[in-house]
Amino acid sequence: MPLSRDELEAIAEHLLTAEAERREVPSLAKTHGELTLDEGYQVQDEIIARKLEAGDRLIGWKLGLTSREKQKAMGVFEPVYGALFASTLLPECEVKTGELIHPRVEPEIAVVMGEDLEGPDVTPARALAAVRWVLPALEVIDSRYQDFKFTLPDVVADNTSTARAVTGARPVPAEGLDLATVGVVFVKNGEIITTAAGAAVLGDPAIALARLANHLSRRGQKLKAGQLVFTGALTAAAFVAPGDVVEARFASLGSVSLRVV
Ligand code: 0L1
Ligand code: MG
């Protein structure tokens, strides 16, 4: 049976309360039954609407579950999409664990759109041509579900675990950059955790951006000039605790670091 409007609103409320109270909840599959992927996005839309009503601002979008490593871990082979808000973006390179449930951090390539980008049928080349700036970035994900255990519709409903995000201070012009071959060294407390290249993101972050634009088009929306996009993690996310410092050192883009307090 499809989700009724009341059920959809109750699930959105349930997840927003978990976020506000920093309390993990069992996956929706356990508490509310199996949702379809489309119902997951309907709950996400409701969460976006409620955050905007409460005074937050939509500043862009993100992709999740982009790397083969993450997809294998989840047993799914498609990315997911979520919204970025003004409240997501950290003004300084510091994240407060007291505001979150069980944060993890992952390195990403972020882009700023120079032009609107509207699907359907956006190609990676067209997507890249609409990008003005590229930035090194770290995303702090914080699933509202116990132990980060969820189904694909569950994680979509939970705005794809979006919590906090930070970018480097120096944007690099997109023109001439090959995002697939941009390398990253992911470092925690001075030790290298892992290394990767942009190609870990669906083969090329430009592919990710095109898929995001086409996804938004199916939902009657588009990417707008000035919006920020986190194109997806290049590696698995690292667990963090107060006292940790994580850093992503990118070739051609510079570095971004985050202190965990
Ligand atoms: O940004 C991401 O890749 C997160 C997507 C949701 C899955 C997770 O929480 O690991
Ligand atoms: Mg991410």
Provide the mean pLDDT of the chain.
Answer: 96
Query: Hunting for tokens 């993690």 — which residue is that?
Result: 233
| Residue 179: pLDDT over 90 | yes
**Tell me, what's the pLDDT at 211?**
98
DSSP 86: T
pLDDT of residue 76: 79
Question: Which residues form the domain of 250?
Answer: 5-260
CA torsion angle for 26, 96, 158, 13 (degrees, to 10)? 80
Map residue 25 onto helix, strand or coil: strand
CATH number for the domain that contains residue 192 = 3.90.850.10
- Cβ 60 vs Cβ 227: under 8 Å: yes
The pLDDT-based confidence of 175 (bands split at 50, 70, 90) is very high
* Phi, psi angle pair for 187, to nearest 5°: -125, 135
Q: Is the peptide bond before 124 cis (omega within 30 degrees of 0)?
A: no
Tell me if 79 sits within 8 A of 64, measured CB to CB. yes
* Dist CA 148 CA 145 (whole Å): 5
Q: At what angle do helices 37-53 and 5-20 cross, to 10 degrees?
A: 60
The residues whose Cβ lies within 5 A of ligand 2, an ion, are: 139, 233
* pLDDT at res. 1: 78
From the CA of 79, which ligand is nearest? 1
pLDDT in tens, 21-42: 999 999 999 999 999 999 999 9
Residue of 65, 162, 164 with the most ligand 1 atoms within 8 Å of its CB, for mutation: 65
Sign of the alpha-carbon dihedral angle for 209, 210, 213, 218: negative
The total number of structural domains in the chain stands at 1
pLDDT given for residue 152 in this prediction = 94
**Residue 173 pLDDT > 90:** yes
The pLDDT of residue 164 is above 90: yes
* pLDDT at 69 (0 to 100): 79
Q: Which among 236, 102, 240 is positioned nearest to 163, based on CA atoms?
A: 102
Shortest-distance ligand to the CA of residue 138: 2
* pLDDT given at position 191: 98
How close is the Cα of 28 to the center of ligand 1, in Å?
16
**For 182-203, what is the mean pLDDT?**
97
pLDDT digits (tens, 9 = 90+) for 41-90: 999 999 999 999 999 999 999 999 998 878 887 777 889 999 999 999 99
Instruction: List all residues 6 or more positions away from 251 whose beta carbon is below 8 Å from its beta carbon.
Output: 182, 183, 184
| Ligand 1 atom with least separation from CA of 139 | 1
pLDDT at 161: 97
**Res. 181: pLDDT tops 90:** yes
Instruction: From the CA of 143, give the closest atom in ligand 1.
Output: 9
Residue 59, SS3 per DSSP: strand
**Residues 205-233: what's their mean pLDDT?**
98
Instruction: Show the ligand 1 pocket: residues with CB < 6 angstroms.
Output: 64-65, 70, 80, 139, 141, 143, 148, 155, 160-161, 233
Span 110-158, pLDDT tens digits = 999 999 999 999 999 999 999 999 999 999 999 999 999 999 999 999 9
pLDDT class of 249 with cuts at 50, 70, 90: very high
Distance CA 225, CA 174 (A): 14
Q: Is 200 helix (H, G, I), strand (E, B) or coil?
A: helix
- Ligand 2: centre distance to CA 63 (Å): 6
What was the pLDDT predicted at 75? 77
pTM, entire model:
0.97
For residue 65, how far is its CA from the centre of ligand 1 (angstroms)?
5
Q: Which long-range contacts (CB under 8 A, 24 or more apart) does 3-8 make?
A: 3/35, 3/39, 3/42, 3/43, 7/32, 8/39, 8/42, 8/43, 8/46
Check residue 71 and give its pLDDT.
86
Give me ligand 1 centre to Cα 64, in Å.
5
Protein residue whose Cα sits closest to atom 5 of ligand 1: 64
Who wins on pLDDT, 232 or 70?
232
